[in-house]
């Protein structure tokens, strides 16, 4: 998921919290940072769960449902009375969302990329576009914390349109944190789009290090400002610290690997009181805009 922060520095800003792999702690950081800012610093903040295929931020925060909206995309519908079976639609579609048979046209909405090309170029206007529900957006609020969750319907593989719709639901009137999906695929690229800073959360392990480097290379290609937070930090694996030092990449904070933190997390409880020092370091980094050098 991601953040908006100009409330602290005289403007508006969005920050994405991302990771090269799942399980590094990005949702833990997103929920605890946003809750601490709302409760301890008494600042308005919006937390947005953009991991639309399996959102779970709501498990850790206490907010009340205010409203919900369905998200739809436009897909073609076949009109058998108008179709002359020219098969132009089949030849046009690059995603094999249509199959022209002898007496019918089969449409696979889950493969459609909603480009309108088949509908616009059909000579007989036999492929009108109709809305198809792909998910739901819910808005919650309690005190200074607003929480927005995008959730894809089961079996739907249109994460990017769902992420776009969820981001459009956000009012940019305060600090906004996007809790992004893991990895470096298209959903992540859409999540970090139009953000001022990406915080990459990693863990001190060979797998974490490898996926962090992939995420860093992705951010460089996208020309995003980014920094690193090491979760479950220990004194045994220091390759990430050395790499970031050599590459002149800021490590904002190192969240310690402590049993007390793991126990609270396993119960679905927030841990910001246990890691307040690290969260304040992250907050100060954001507020000070130290990445703009």
Same domain for 82 and 207:
no
275, part of any domain: yes
- What does the pLDDT read at residue 3? 34
Same domain for 161 and 84:
no
293, part of any domain: no
- What does the pLDDT read at residue 136? 97
Residue where one domain finishes, among candidates 61, 93, 127: 127
Residue ranges for the chain with pLDDT beneath 50: 1-11
- What does the pLDDT read at residue 290? 63
- What does the pLDDT read at residue 291? 61
Residue 240 in contact with residue 228, Cβ under 8 Å? Answer: yes
Same domain for 154 and 95:
no
Question: Whole-angstrom Cα distance, residue 161 to residue 85?
Answer: 30
Residue 202 in contact with residue 212, Cβ under 8 Å? Answer: yes
pLDDT in tens, 83-128: 999 988 888 899 899 988 888 899 998 889 889 999 999 999 999 9
Count of domains forming the chain: 2
Same domain for 94 and 50:
no
What single DSSP character describes residue 132?
E
The CATH number for 96's domain is 3.30.70.20
Same domain for 39 and 53:
yes
pLDDT in tens, 40-68: 889 999 999 999 999 999 999 999 999 99
- 124's CB contacts (< 8 A; 6+ apart) are 82, 83, 84, 86
Phi/psi of residue 279, each to 5°? Answer: -65, -35
- 273's CB contacts (< 8 A; 6+ apart) are none
**DSSP E strands: which ranges in the chain?**
2-3, 14-18, 45-49, 64-76, 98-100, 105-107, 129-142, 145-152, 175-179, 197-202, 226-233, 251-256
Same domain for 252 and 238:
yes
Residue 250 in contact with residue 244, Cβ under 8 Å? Answer: yes
The CATH number for 188's domain is 3.40.50.300
Same domain for 152 and 42:
yes
- What does the pLDDT read at residue 293? 53
**In which domain, by residue range, is 92 found?**
78-127
Say which residue the tokens 């998910």 belong to.
135
């Amino acid at each position: 998921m991601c953040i908006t922060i100009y409330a602290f520095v005289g403007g508006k800003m969005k920050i994405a919290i991302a990771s090269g792999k799942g399980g590094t702690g990005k949702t833990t950081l997103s929920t605890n940072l946003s809750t601490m800012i709302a409760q301890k610093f008494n600042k308005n903040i919006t937390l947005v769960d953009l991991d639309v295929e399996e959102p779970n931020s709501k498990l850790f925060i206490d907010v009340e449902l205010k409203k919900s909206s369905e998200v739809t995309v436009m897909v073609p519908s076949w009109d058998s009375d108008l179709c002359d079976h020219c098969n132009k639609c089949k030849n046009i579609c690059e995603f094999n969302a249509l199959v022209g048979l002898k007496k019918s046209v089969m449409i696979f909405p889950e493969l459609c990329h909603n480009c309108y090309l088949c509908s616009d170029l059909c000579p007989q206007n036999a492929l009108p576009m109709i809305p198809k529900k792909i998910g739901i957006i819910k808005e919650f609020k309690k005190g200074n914390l607003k929480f927005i969750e995008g959730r894809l319907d089961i079996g739907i593989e249109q994460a990017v349109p769902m992420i776009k719709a969820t981001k459009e639901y956000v009012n940019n009137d305060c600090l906004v944190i996007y809790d992004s999906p893991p990895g470096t695929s298209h959903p992540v690229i859409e999540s970090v789009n139009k953000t001022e800073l990406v915080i990459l959360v990693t863990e001190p392990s060979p797998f974490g290090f490898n996926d962090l480097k992939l995420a860093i290379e992705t951010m460089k290609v996208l020309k995003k400002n980014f920094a690193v937070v090491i979760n479950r930090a220990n004194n045994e694996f220091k390759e990430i610290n050395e790499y970031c030092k050599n590459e002149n990449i800021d490590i904002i904070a190192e969240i310690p690997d402590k049993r007390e933190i793991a126990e609270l997390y396993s119960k679905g409880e927030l841990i910001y009181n246990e890691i307040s020092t690290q969260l304040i370091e992250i907050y100060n980094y954001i507020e000070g805009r130290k990445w703009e050098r």
